[in-house]
């Protein structure tokens, strides 16, 4: 996995049939933006092939043993052999021991000094080191998991702890479990704690009812809310170095419910292709950044529209371009951008009017919520600017209907709208526990029916996967999420159809005769690649 040997490794992996040339091209393109990432780790994060076969092949190519670290392979405790600091510094994890030998995984076998240091350290303990190589991301994850645990198991939270420690434990556990939101809900006889992880809500604990008022008081204190008010409030928690936590309170029949939105500070913008975007880089350049035009991201709430906007802005960001964003709120601060946050005294439309006097090249408007914002965004697009925004619709073609219902004319829409992108977030199969199996006849029938409907010939000659569940994925079978996308490029023919007042049904037929492919097509392709399951896709798109 030596970065200096990435091209020979890529060629060899293609020769062995582990990955395709297209996979290597995508990985190398990604590596240009992230030069510290090794080619093997990039291929692993892109989930383009069986990770066991990938690491074994990489190990064989560079003359060592490769192994995927899972719950099954980790049979020893790291801190029984050396400290967390040593593990972090050398990027090393021991995973098995027996007969005087200890098996140890490194992220890089080129750093011979680190390997020699670890070998001598273990030799002093009477153990002969047997070295392996694995993906750096897995080593980092294992070491992180060892760095600290919550003050108490949440199932027993509050039994012997102060309310300050209890609330802190609830929040820190949410961070460790990758939760996007924490729900603290008064019930009839208890307080329920739930975490939203990868879009799904999970009950983490039920706390004694007598702790309710103390929890509410503590949350209000650290969120800068009024203690005495028994009404809806908004606040923020700024106590945690890496997080900006937005807090919302809402009275219910059993008390006050709190929802904490965990926003990680300075989190890296995800590459647009990491999100699951289906177009190539050249196709992306043709679809976006057209002057005198608007690109709109369309999806229901919670489907990742803002993340996609940030990724597109990151894709376009250059020193010679003036980019201004108008957001509610600013979730990630990006160097080089002028980011404006909407507050109670401002609006998207009012801020957009001001921004137009600031000589922008590209304008990001968090959301087109009303006719006034839509009209100003159209005007901005017509006067030489490139505008990016979002809207709530079910797919990319219904954006046209939504803009019409806002009162925008067919002329304005057809002359300015360049691209609409619709998306859904589906959970990715956990790489540590997913189980390969043949397709059932019912699954084949569903996929073939969709293929026939849209003129697609899906390859079902391989195997599919079941979501199993393990410690790494909180026993859900899924870990992280990926986007399912459709892109409508507003061609001259589609512009004419809009100008002629054609319905969305007619525009859809025209788009399908061109390059447009609906969400379900990208979703089925991700099922076939083993990224997600048909069951997960059905939850979002109701395909059967």
The pLDDT value recorded for residue 469 is 76
The pLDDT value recorded for residue 2 is 42
Name the pLDDT band for 270 (thresholds 50, 70, 90).
confident
State pLDDT tens for residues 344-362. Answer: 778 888 888 888 888 899 9
- Shortest CA distance to 125 belongs to which of 102, 148, 146? 102
The pLDDT value recorded for residue 148 is 44
State pLDDT tens for residues 162-195. Answer: 888 899 999 999 998 899 999 999 999 999 999 9
- In percent, the amount of the chain with pLDDT more than 70 equals 93
Name the pLDDT band for 39 (thresholds 50, 70, 90).
confident
Question: Residues spanned by CATH 3.30.450.90 within the chain?
Answer: 154-264
Q: Has residue 147 got a pLDDT over 80? A: no
Residues 6+ apart with CB under 8 A from 161: 151, 152, 169
pTM of the model: 0.67
The pLDDT value recorded for residue 3 is 39
- Shortest CA distance to 365 belongs to which of 333, 345, 391? 391
- The Cα 91–Cα 36 span in angstroms is 14
The pLDDT value recorded for residue 323 is 92
Q: Worst-scoring range by mean pLDDT, 151-160, 267-276, 486-495?
A: 151-160
The pLDDT value recorded for residue 499 is 96
- Shortest CA distance to 422 belongs to which of 489, 364, 497? 489
Name the pLDDT band for 428 (thresholds 50, 70, 90).
very high
- What superfamily in CATH does domain 281-541 come from? P-loop containing nucleotide triphosphate hydrolases (3.40.50.300)
Looking at residues 339-343, what average pLDDT do you find?
86
The pLDDT value recorded for residue 5 is 42
State pLDDT tens for residues 367-419. Answer: 998 999 999 999 899 888 999 999 999 999 999 999 999 999 999 999 999 99
> In CATH, what class is 154-264?
alpha beta
Looking at residues 305-334, what average pLDDT do you find?
86
> In CATH, what class is 3-146?
alpha beta
The pLDDT value recorded for residue 427 is 94
Which residue has tokens 């997600």?
532
Q: Has residue 122 got a pLDDT over 70? A: yes
What DSSP letter does each residue of 166-228 carry, written as one string? HHHHHHHHHHHTT-SEEEEEE-SSEEEEEEEETTEEEEEEEEEGGGHHHHHHHHHHHHT--SS
How distant is the alpha carbon of residue 275 from its chain centre? Answer: 6
State pLDDT tens for residues 437-480. Answer: 889 898 999 999 999 999 999 999 999 998 877 778 877 888 99
Looking at residues 475-488, what average pLDDT do you find?
91
Angle made by CA atoms 141, 146, 148, in degrees to the nearest 5: 115
- The Cα 118–Cα 400 span in angstroms is 62
Question: Residues spanned by CATH 3.30.300.160 within the chain?
Answer: 3-146
Q: Which residue has the higher pLDDT, 196 or 71?
A: 196
Question: Residues spanned by CATH 3.40.50.300 within the chain?
Answer: 281-541
Q: Which residue has the higher pLDDT, 297 or 285?
A: 297
């Amino acid at each position: 996995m030596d970065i200096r040997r990435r091209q020979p490794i890529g060629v060899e992996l293609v020769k062995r049939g582990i990955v395709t040339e297209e996979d290597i091209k995508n990985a190398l393109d990604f590596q240009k933006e992230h030069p510290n990432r090794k080619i093997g780790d990039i291929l692993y994060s892109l989930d383009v092939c069986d990770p066991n076969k990938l690491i074994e092949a990489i190990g064989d190519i560079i003359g060592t043993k490769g192994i995927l670290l899972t719950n099954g392979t980790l049979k020893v405790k790291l801190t029984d052999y050396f400290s967390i600091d040593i593990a972090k510094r050398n990027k090393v994890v021991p995973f098995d021991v027996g007969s005087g030998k200890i098996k140890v995984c490194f992220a890089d076998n080129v750093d011979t000094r680190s390997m020699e240091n670890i070998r001598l350290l273990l030799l002093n303990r009477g153990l002969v080191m047997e070295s392996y190589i694995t993906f750096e991301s897995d080593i980092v994850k294992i070491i992180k998991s060892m760095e600290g645990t919550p003050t108490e198991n949440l199932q027993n939270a509050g039994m012997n702890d102060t309310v300050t420690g209890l609330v802190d434990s609830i929040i820190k556990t949410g961070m460790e479990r990758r939760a996007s939101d924490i729900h603290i809900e008064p019930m009839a006889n208890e307080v329920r704690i739930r975490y939203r992880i990868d879009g799904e809500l999970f009950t983490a604990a039920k706390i004694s009812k007598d702790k309710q008022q103390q929890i509410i008081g503590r949350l209000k204190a650290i969120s800068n809310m009024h203690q005495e008010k028994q009404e809806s409030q908004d606040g923020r928690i700024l106590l945690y170095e890496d997080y900006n936590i937005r807090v919302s309170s809402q009275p219910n029949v059993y008390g006050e419910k709190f929802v904490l939105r965990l926003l990680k500070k300075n989190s890296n913008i995800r590459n647009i292709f990491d999100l699951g975007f289906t177009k190539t880089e050249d196709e992306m350049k043709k679809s976006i950044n057209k002057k005198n035009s608007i690109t709109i991201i369309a999806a229901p709430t919670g489907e990742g529209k803002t993340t996609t906007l940030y990724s597109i802005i990151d894709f376009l960001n250059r020193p010679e371009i003036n980019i201004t964003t108008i957001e509610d709120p600013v979730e990630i601060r990006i160097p080089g951008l002028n980011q404006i946050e909407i507050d109670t005294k401002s609006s998207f439309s009012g801020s957009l009017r001001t921004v137009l006097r600031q000589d922008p090249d590209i304008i990001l408007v968090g959301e087109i919520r009303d006719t006034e914002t839509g009209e100003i965004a159209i005007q901005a697009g017509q006067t030489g600017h490139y505008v990016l925004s979002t809207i709530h619709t079910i797919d990319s073609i219904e954006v046209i209907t939504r803009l019409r219902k806002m009162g925008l004319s067919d002329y304005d829409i057809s002359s300015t709208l360049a691209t609409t992108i619709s998306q859904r977030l589906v959970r990715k199969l956990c790489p540590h526990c997913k189980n390969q199996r043949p397709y059932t006849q019912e699954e084949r029938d569903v996929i073939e029916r969709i293929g026939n409907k849209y003129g697609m010939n899906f390859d079902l000659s391989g195997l599919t996967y079941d979501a199993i569940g393990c410690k790494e994925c909180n026993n859900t079978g899924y870990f992280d999420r990926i986007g399912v996308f459709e892109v409508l490029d507003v061609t001259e023919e589609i512009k004419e159809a809009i100008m002629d007042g054609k319905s969305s049904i007619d525009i859809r037929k025209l788009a399908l005769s061109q390059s447009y492919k609906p969400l379900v097509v990208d979703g089925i392709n991700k099922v076939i690649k083993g990224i997600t399951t048909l069951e997960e896709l059905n939850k979002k798109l109701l395909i059967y």
